[in-house]
Structure 1
Amino acid sequence: MPTVSVIIPTRNDAPKLKTCLALLSQQSRPADEIIVVDNASSDDTSAICATAGVRRIPVDLPGIPATAAAGFDAAAGEIIARLDTDSRPPQDWLEHVERILQASGPLTAVTGPADFYGGNLLVRWTGRYLFLGGYFTVVGFLMGHPPVFGSNFALRRGVWAAIRTIVVRDNADVHDDFDISYRLRPDMTVIYDPTLRVGVSARPFASWSSFRRRVAMSLVTFRVEFAHEPPLRRRLDRFRWGYWQRHQNGPHRDESPVEDR
């Protein structure tokens, strides 16, 4: 069986972190290691990690991109799973993740949606349909494959090893899950499984200011990623790779379809 690491980036979110760690302790397939990456918290995060017996890594560079990347770098597992502090994984979450990735190739990631909790019906509807629905539909179209959702995804160690030097770490306004998704190579696969669900707080949509903040971050993220690689060229690369894969038994099977950049 592959070893599994769980990464949780956090900043001043001790109560929700405590709940998330309690749910991870009840998994039908226990994690081999849990790493909480602490972005300069001033609350009880350190004490909660000590009580739960999980590894805590302090990170001073602000923002989730740097925080999450530090956790992925430190992970020892062959499968690296990612949650947020407000994620509420069901008891079979890691078992589900492991089963999917064991049956898949070495350069595979898996992700799923969320069931939003907290707030009123309108807030939860906004999170489910406007935010997540738009993310998987619009971003998936731009990328040519499903994006990973930061509160609920896992990837094979080889995926991170291949992209860790090109992900954004120094811009706190970039959505790290979008960035990871966009840096995936054409030979990498993202599996979207609608049954791989976790609970996620609807608090980002509880006020217009927090919602505007997410929209502003999305615009920054689009600008950063499109400067790295225009979406049309990215989709073309993936199309060429897929075409080559389907015809690799032909006369040009030893030629790579994507030029080195």
Structure 2
Amino acid sequence: MTARPEGSPTISVVIPVKDDANELHRCLRALQLQTREPDEIVVVDNGSSDASAQVAREFGARVIRCDRSGIPAASSAGYDAATGDVIARLDADCIPARTWIETVADAFARRPDVSVFTGGARFVDGPIALRTSLAAGYLGAYALVTVPALGHLPVFGSNLAFRRSAWQGIRSHVHRQDPELHDDLDFAFHVGERHRIRYLRGAAMGISMRPFASGADFGQRVRRGVRTVLVHWPADFPPVRWVRLALRRALHRLGVPVPRRRAAP
């Protein structure tokens, strides 16, 4: 593992966790083996009853506790606590490639015009022959459904990185109080208003197929996605949002200031 090169942004890794000690151990071990070490790791304990917090501390992570239930609250608490120039987000059951942090840092150093990078993934469990293709199908379907609602590229919270300055601009707008929202999609609605999102090739990530092991789990994800879209209506009804974003981009190119949206209730 190498230290941060001169001129490279500092990187904070945020991992929300609840009762996932074994998977978290595997994830933190993968972060320990990175070709470029993160500047800090923030593990958000969302009310675990197992040894998740202890595992995090054993790996030298900074542990903060979020007692409000739900991934939106836990993720937001981690982003608030992060101190790096760039916040990299993944889940406790993820396994990043050894070059993940280095790839993310290099991308932000090369592209000062981009505030958010999101990457793809492959499954690390399930049928071996189908892991890559099934993950590609899942992420492709997610993009196909969400791009029309957003008017731009969505983000994938298991392989996500963004400038802390971008988070500071939207932190009062995200719906962190609602545990039944899809936090990735909610984040994308807000960050995509003013910031450029790009896909980062080469940021390899392994993810678990556990959330799709049952119809109930998959159904819950679909319901949360639909609820997240509807929460943003009528202000983000697709034709309205598309026109607003096009106008914002045109005004930005002309150097005209654009008013900010109101904070989320």
**Which of 224, 228, 248 is matched with 1:217 structurally?**
224
Please tell me the residue identity of whatever aligns with 1:128: A
User: How has the CA–CA distance of structure 1 residues 50 and 186 changed in structure 2, closer, same or farther, with 3 Å as cutoff?
Assistant: closer
CA distance in 2, matches of 1:24, 1:10: 15
Tell me by how many angstroms 1:127 deviates. Answer: 4.3
Letter in 2 for 1:199: G
Partner of 2:155: 148
Q: 1:102 aligns with which of 95, 98, 109?
A: 109
Pairs within 5 Å for 1:71-150: 71-105=78-112, 108-120=115-127, 124=131, 126-129=134-137, 131-150=138-157
Q: Could you tell me how far apart the structure 2 residues matched to 1:25 and 1:121 are?
A: 26
Question: Is residue 12–residue 38 contact of structure 2 (8 Å, CA) maintained in 1?
Answer: yes
The structure-2 alpha-carbon separation of the partners of 1:106 and 1:163, relative to structure 1 and needing over 3 Å to count, comes to farther
Unaligned runs of 5+ in 2: 1-7
CA distance in 2, matches of 1:17, 1:228: 38
In 2, distance between residues paired with 1:136 and 1:101?
A: 23
Opposite residue 161 of structure 2, the aligned amino acid is: A
- Partners in 1 of 2:193 and 2:86 — Cα distance? 20
Residues 149 and 237 of structure 2 are in contact (CA less than 8 Å); yes or no, is this contact kept in structure 1?
no
Equivalent residue number for residue 169 of structure 1: 176
Q: SS of 1:226's equivalent?
A: coil
Contact 2:149–2:229, Cα closer than 8 Å, also in 1: no
Aligned to 1:29: 36
Distance in 2, Cα, partners of 1:236 & 1:259: 15
Mean alpha-carbon deviation: is it higher for 42-51 or for 115-124? 115-124
On the 8 A contact 2:91/2:158 being kept in 1, the answer is: yes
Supply the distance in 1 between the matched residues of 2:249 and 2:15 (Cα, whole angstroms).
33
Give, in angstroms, the shift of residue 123 of structure 1. 7.9
Partners in 1 of 2:180 and 2:235 — Cα distance?
A: 16
Equivalences for 1:5-16 in 2 at 5 Å?
A: 5-16=12-23
> After the TM superposition, which segments of 4 or more aligned residues of structure 1 sit over 4 Å from their partners?
121-127, 258-261
Counterpart in the other structure of 1:64:
71
1:194-205 maps to which residues of 2 (within 5 A)? 194-205=201-212
| Bigger mean CA offset, 100-109 vs 172-181 | 100-109
Q: Distance in 2 between matches of 1:193 and 1:49?
A: 27
Distance 1:173 1:122, change over 3 A: farther
Question: What per-residue deviation string (whole Å, max 9, x for no partner) do you get for residues 102-130 of structure 1?
Answer: 1223661000111012123698555431x
In the alignment, structure 1 segments of 5+ residues that lack a partner are none
State, as a whole percentage, how many aligned pairs show the same letter: 38
CA separation of 1:106/1:74 partners in 2, compared to 1, >3 Å: closer, same or farther? farther
Which deviates further from its counterpart, 194-203 or 68-77?
A: 194-203
User: Residue 143 of structure 2 contacts residue 153 of structure 2 at CA under 8 Å; is this kept in 1?
Assistant: yes
Matched, 1:240 2:252: no
Q: CA deviation at 1:185?
A: 4.9
Give the Cα separation in 2 of the matches to 1:36 and 1:173: 21
Contact 1:123–1:206 (Cα < 8 Å) also in 2: no
Partners of 2:228 and 2:173 in 1: CA distance = 15
Native 8 Å contact 1:119 1:206 kept in 2 = no
Could you tell me the TM-score, scaled by structure 1's length?
A: 0.90
- Equivalent position to 2:60, from 16, 35, 53: 53
Once residues 118 and 165 of structure 1 are traced to their aligned partners in structure 2, the CA distance between those partners, rounded to angstroms, is: 37
* Deviation sequence 1:226-252 (CA, Å, 0-9, x none): 345322222212212333345x2xxxx
Q: How far apart are residue 174 of structure 1 and its match?
A: 0.7
- Aligned-residue RMSD, C-alpha: 1.9
The alpha carbon displacement at 1:193 in A equals 2.0
Check the 8 A contact 2:235/2:241 in 1, yes or no: no
Report the AA paired with residue 185 of structure 2: F
